[in-house]
Amino acid sequence: MIKLLVVGTVAYDSIETPFGKADNVLGGSALHFTNAASFFTDVGLVATVGKDFKLSDIAFLKDRNVDLSGIKVDEGKTFRWEGKYGYDLNTAITLKTELNVIENFKPHVPDDFAEADFVFLANIDPVLQSHVIDQIKKPTAIVVLDTMNFWIENRFNELMDVMRRVDMIVVNEAELREISKEHSLVKGARKIMTYGPTSVVVKRGEYGVMMMSGEELFLCPAYPLEDVFDPTGAGDTFAGGFMGYIANMGDASIATLKQAIITGSVMASFNVEDFSINRIKGLNYPEIKGRYGAFRNCLQFGDIAFD
């Protein structure tokens, strides 16, 4: 039985950064998410790929208790994304998007996946995200939403319909501002909470993460890397670490959510050290725990003590 369901994309990416180039490498929101989350919990992945996709390349995930039976192989080619980054590694420039099999993607959640306690709706058409929620069987399931500027601009009403049905959203700064029409992140997060979600997680790239959950605000800088090699998938890897940790703990208390934000940040910091899913693929638990501890040491301090 899986604990965490993710629905999104599995893709082939071609990426150019100031540090190198990689062609037709594994990518996609659901794959980056799963790669990270599977260190912490049993994941079920729902996505579609084309006949050209080499399933053997992701078979290693089975050893980490990922159920790949929700991947549908369709006639046609796998979704492809081509992008590059300048020295400002915060912003990707999309060179080409080939939707291919994604164009007819209608996510089907297998029966045993539908009982998951935790659900992540990676960035796809909000109409499809609603369709996934329709298939969830546990009324207590914690559902987390991601999206992007394209849907905010072209499917706003449909996105708002999904928003009313989820527990949390995970977005970047620009998306938060575009949805809420507020410049201040605090005001923006508070506004989004009036739409339905009880927690809002804002990804700020090299500046870290802000979370508002109920009345609680949590701030986390990014892990201070000396070099960022390829930022592709950092946001989805963050979400995977975040939700994987929550599913592992089995609760969404504020204490758990804070630790989950740090875990997600740690996973994202590993992801950007190499192209594609490579760094996380080869990761181990001592490395995760070691970096969590080192990160915590950079962030903890005592109470004020002046006379």
- Which of 56, 63, 75, 87 binds a copy of itself (CB under 8 A)? It is 87
Count of CA atoms in the C-beta half-sphere (13 A) of 144: 28
Residue numbers 25-84 binding a copy of itself by CB under 8 A: 40
Using rule CB under 8 A, residue 134 touches a copy of itself? no
Question: How far apart, in whole angstroms, are the C-alpha atoms of residue 165 and residue 145?
Answer: 10
- Which of 193, 258, 278, 281 binds a copy of itself (CB under 8 A)? It is 258
Segment lying near a copy of itself (by CB under 8 A), choices 29-37, 66-74, 120-128, 252-260: 252-260
Using rule CB under 8 A, residue 284 touches a copy of itself? no
* 280 close to 268: Cβ distance less than 8 angstroms: no
Tokens 């090699």 sit on residue:
229
Q: Report which of 122, 99, 86, 98 is spatially closest to residue 231, judged by C-alpha positions.
A: 86
- Which of 99, 219, 273, 278 binds a copy of itself (CB under 8 A)? It is 219
- Which of 207, 273, 274, 278 binds a copy of itself (CB under 8 A)? It is 207
127 by DSSP, 3-state: which?
helix
Fill in the per-residue mask, 171 to 190: x = in contact with a copy of itself (CB under 8 A), - = not in contact: ------------xxxxx---
Question: How far apart, in whole angstroms, are the C-alpha atoms of residue 267 and residue 288?
Answer: 7
* 304 close to 53: Cβ distance less than 8 angstroms: no
At its nearest, how many Å lie between a copy of itself and the CB of residue 185? 7
State the burial class of residue 102 (Cβ atoms within 10 Å of its Cβ: 0-12, 13-18, 19+).
buried
Site for a copy of itself, rule CB under 8 A? 40, 87, 183-187, 204, 207-208, 210, 216-221, 224-227, 245, 248-249, 255, 258-259, 261-263, 288-289, 292-293, 296-307
